[in-house]
Structure 1
């Protein structure tokens, strides 16, 4: 059994995501273009409790709706490459603005850890964050850190390890949309489920199709149908 696991880092620009990546991986990193795109992804490794975490620093994006190449690359990596864990890095001083991306990721994949960075800056501003309450409400682990000061790193790495080994499980909160949208989802999700099976979230794909996301449909055809899956 392999002891190497892929960990994707997602987040808005300026949340300290790349600072976290650099602090964790140090000199054990490299960059390269991914999936024929011009966007370069940084990759690096972290050793923890006999396991190798292969960290992948995804492009910083405000959403995952494929409105840009960066968004498309980040979305496709999470959905199709299926990292073992996706870390969503949030700015502790701007949680409300950052949570949009986190909720999008929760619709796409189950194994998610919300990593609240810049906790030292938040404390200076008198902002208090109840990580236990957030964990309970989101249904996934929430860890507070300061990437710049390397505060909270042992807990973060332990949480990744516990999620990978199944010691803890994620039960992500389900975003409920207005009744008319939920009705449309119910209508098309059975057909979508036949197409994607358990490889993708049929609910998430249904939402994207309702939104007219043709790039996703094309990507599904290219990756699944043409392979005969």
Structure 2
């Protein structure tokens, strides 16, 4: 039986942990992330002909390394490269929740968007067009109620298809200003030459331009090799990444 790894991402209070508990049941354990005081929850379950290992990432509003929780979630998606990242959204607060979803889509294409609390949305008269959301984001989008176990099978069908490669999502690429796009194009070949093609060069370029010191530190620790200079245009002096 093939085993796939799933990362579960989402804002706080979206029902992410409820979904985690629904899928993993008693087959889960908790601890701390290495070197962090941030809680880590991991569980296992089977669906169809596949086995899954699920990591419940800390609930965050962004992945811009402004806190230990954000760094943990960011580093797991980038460095561990799960087979699928499920981004859990609150159906009653889609606009706010989509910010995190778009950030994840810049980091990995293997994403399934899960719109949770769909029953609460219906009670409030909120109508959600999953097909339009899926088309605009470029990834599968499924509506569920984790608490009432509605839509779980549909969710897992999409997750299994993405994990196995039956579906290859093509996430929307967020356009930035002309100046930023030009700098990204300059940086991408340098990043690819330095780090290879394993990591998303466009996303790393954007983070370098934003002066993300935490990401640089994580890259150095992962690569454990000498550093090389990369120009950080935002503040006008050299920055470094791992070679």
Q: TM-score, normalised by structure 1?
A: 0.96
Cα distance in 1 between the residues matched to 2:41 and 2:89: 19
Cα distance in 1 between the residues matched to 2:187 and 2:144: 41
SS at match of 1:226: coil
Partner of 1:170: 169
Indicate yes or no: 2:140 matched with 1:138. no
More helix by share: 1
Partner of 1:16: 15
Cα distance in 1 between the residues matched to 2:189 and 2:34: 30
Offset at 1:107?
0.4
SS at match of 1:62: coil
Offset at 1:196?
2.0
Partner of 1:28: 27
Partner of 1:83: 82
Cα distance in 2 between the residues matched to 1:217 and 1:199: 16
Partner of 1:194: 193
Cα distance in 1 between the residues matched to 2:187 and 2:224: 19
Worse-matched range after superposition: 47-56 or 98-107: 47-56
Partner of 1:6: 5
Partner of 2:182: 183
Worse-matched range after superposition: 22-31 or 191-200: 191-200
Cα distance in 2 between the residues matched to 1:16 and 1:196: 36
How many residues align structurally?
228
SS at match of 2:147: coil
Q: Which runs of 4+ in 1 moved over 3 A?
A: none
Cα distance in 2 between the residues matched to 1:150 and 1:224: 42
Indicate yes or no: 2:57 matched with 1:38. no
Offset at 1:187?
2.1
Partner of 2:232: none
Structure 1 residues 105-116: aligned runs within 5 Å: 105-116=104-115
Question: What stretches of structure 2 of length at least 5 have no aligned partner?
Answer: 227-241
Offset at 1:225?
4.2
Offset at 1:226?
2.8
Deviation string for 1:7-65 (max 9, x for gaps)? Answer: 00000001010011011111111012223211121111121112111111000000001
Cα distance in 1 between the residues matched to 2:106 and 2:125: 31
CA RMSD in angstroms comes to 1.5
Larger radius of gyration: 2
Offset at 1:159?
0.9
Cα distance in 2 between the residues matched to 1:188 and 1:66: 21
Cα distance in 2 between the residues matched to 1:197 and 1:27: 40
Cα distance in 1 between the residues matched to 2:173 and 2:195: 19
Q: TM-score, normalised by structure 2?
A: 0.90
